[in-house]
Amino acid sequence: MTSTEQEHSPEPGFEPEPNWPDAPGSGSPGAGYPGAGYPGAGLPDPDLEAELAASAAEDAGMTSDPSTKDGNSIKNDNKAQKDDTPRPHAAPQRMGRVLAVANQKGGVGKTTTAINLATALAAVGERVLLIDSDPQGNASTGLGLSQDERQFGTYELLMGAAVLDETIRPTKVPNLLIVPASVELAGAELEMMDLDRRQHRLKDAIDGKLGEFDHVLIDCPPSLTLLTVNAMVAADAVLVPLQCEFFALEGLSQLLRTIERVRTTLNPSLDVQGVVLTMFDKRNNLSEQVAADVRGFLGEKVYETVIPRNVRISEAPSHGVPALIYDHRAPGSTAYMSLAREVIKREQAIRDAA
Ligand SMILES: Nc1ncnc2c1ncn2[C@@H]1O[C@H](COP(=O)(O)OP(=O)(O)OP(=O)(O)O)[C@@H](O)[C@H]1O
Ligand SMILES: [Mg+2]
């Protein structure tokens, strides 16, 4: 642990399941496991308002078939091979809640949170699907997927060229599956502009097909454009990673406005599951100040768990494994276990209230 990292006590009674991969308790990196910037990051999106307003009218009376508007003609015949990889642990019907991990600011910990929260949830026996909806493909890389394993992914789902089952891949993490990002996803925003139900394409592709999962996390790109809007339309709630830095609150207001706009135009049940403070440095007064400001502004929406700045977290992706497997005792890993506990508690409260 470096001098800037925080201790974070593991949650008693919230340990990984016994069948969990033998994480290197010694802290030795990656034992047993192999191992960009994005245009528009953090910038206001002047077209979003118009896009959301136009879509509300346009969507009225549309079909819910994601393969329209020119029917099956958008199917990509070059990719007609189905993945026959056996899907482990086919389980009885579960109620998969969908969380979009979103923040238009770049580098705030969206992907790190998506990967490690998903892993922490899977570690306690929850069935988890991670949808990589960022053309950078960092979640797919961070979970060790080769380019070959990404042939069918989020792009094909959005284009109606594949169904969900064809895009789901296993990962090295038991209970955690992924819809990877293929290189083509970079073109999806543009291509979707000509398709019907362009803001609903992800929702249309996954709705009613998530029964075997307890949680579905969508890793969003650092923008508020069509890919993120699709994630928010498909989601039950948004989980916002917020880096403890000077401009954190400024970006947050814009994000909350966007969530509100999506709620009023496209997805009336969209909620904010919570805001997680990331890269917290307890030796830095600014981190403390930002955390206090965010809690003052958002109250209980902010998770009690704070993710510390921790070098083990940043090392893990280059080994193609989550930090929780790279070093499950690192302060960042135990913090994500603690976050998973809070997320489960909040989800349970929503289920109980339903
Ligand atoms: N708690 C942490 N401690 C140390 N490094 C971290 C932590 N969280 C994230 N990082 C590092 O910060 C960088 C940005 O994190 P990450 O890729 O998760 O952000 P992001 O919001 O997904 O970025 P983008 O907007 O580009 O998609 C990465 O190099 C990651 O390893
Ligand atoms: Mg990312």
Instruction: State how far the Cα of 223 lies from the Cα of 255, in Å rounded to an integer.
Output: 10
Question: Is there a contact between 224 and 258 (Cβ–Cβ < 8 Å)?
Answer: yes
pLDDT at 296: 93
What are the residues facing 176 on neighbouring strands? 128
Integer CA distances (angstroms), 190 to 75, 159, 187, in order? 17, 11, 6
Residue bearing the CA closest to ligand 1, atom 11: 314
Six token digits for residue 204: 């249309």
Nearest-atom index, ligand 1, CA of 308 = 1
Global model pTM greater than 0.85: no
The ligand 1 atom nearest the CA atom of 220 = 27
Atom 8 of ligand 1 has which residue's CA nearest to it?
109
Q: Measuring CA to CA, which residue among 189, 208, 268 is closest to residue 233?
A: 268
Give counts: helices (H), strands (E), the chain: 13, 8
Residue closest via CA to ligand 1's atom 29 equals 314
Q: How far is the CA of 142 from the centre of ligand 1 (A)?
A: 11
Ligand nearest to the CA of 116: 1
How far is it, in rounded angstroms, from Cα 202 to Cα 213? 17
Burial grade of 246 (CB within 10 A; 0-12, 13-18, 19 or more):
exposed
Residue closest by Cα to atom 14 of ligand 1: 107
316: left (phi over 0), alpha (psi -120 to 50) or beta: alpha
- Which of 241, 232, 214 shows the shortest CA–CA distance to 139? 241
5 lines ligand 1 (CB under 6 A): no
Q: Which atom of ligand 1 is nearest the CA belonging to 113?
A: 18
* Edge-to-edge strand list for the sheet holding 215-219: 169-170, 176-179, 128-132, 215-219, 97-101, 237-243, 271-280, 302-308
Check if 128 has its Cβ closer than 6 Å to any atom of ligand 1: no
pLDDT per residue as tens, the chain (354 positions): 444 444 444 444 455 555 555 443 333 333 322 222 222 223 334 455 555 555 544 544 333 333 333 333 223 333 333 444 444 444 445 567 999 999 999 999 999 999 999 999 999 999 999 999 999 999 999 999 999 999 899 999 999 999 999 999 999 999 999 999 988 999 999 999 999 999 999 999 999 999 999 999 999 999 999 999 999 999 999 999 999 988 888 889 889 999 999 999 999 999 999 999 999 998 989 999 999 999 999 999 999 999 999 999 999 999 999 999 999 999 999 999 999 999 999 998 988 888
What dihedral angle (degrees, nearest 10) is formed by the CA atoms of 19, 24, 29, 31?
-60
Closest CA to 321 of 278, 242, 330, 108: 330
Cis peptide bond upstream of 69, omega within 30: yes
Domains of the chain (ranges plus CATH)?
92-353 (3.40.50.300)
- Among protein residues, the one whose CA lies closest to atom 5 of ligand 1: 314
Helix, strand, coil shares of the chain, percent, nearest 5, are 40, 15, 45
45 within ligand 1 shell (Cβ under 6 A): no
Ligand 1 atom nearest to 5, measured from its CA: 3
Give the Cα separation of 152 and 98 in Å (integer): 21
Evaluate whether 52 touches 229 at the Cβ level (below 8 Å).
yes
Tokens of 232: 């928010």
- Residue 286 sits at φ, ψ, to 5 deg, of -65, -40
> Residue 198 has which token pair?
């362009």
Q: Is the CB of 40 under 6 A from ligand 1?
A: no
CB atoms within 10 A of CB 350: 13
- For the CA of 332, the closest atom of ligand 1 is 1
- Quote the CA–CA distance of 11 and 71 in Å, as a whole number: 51
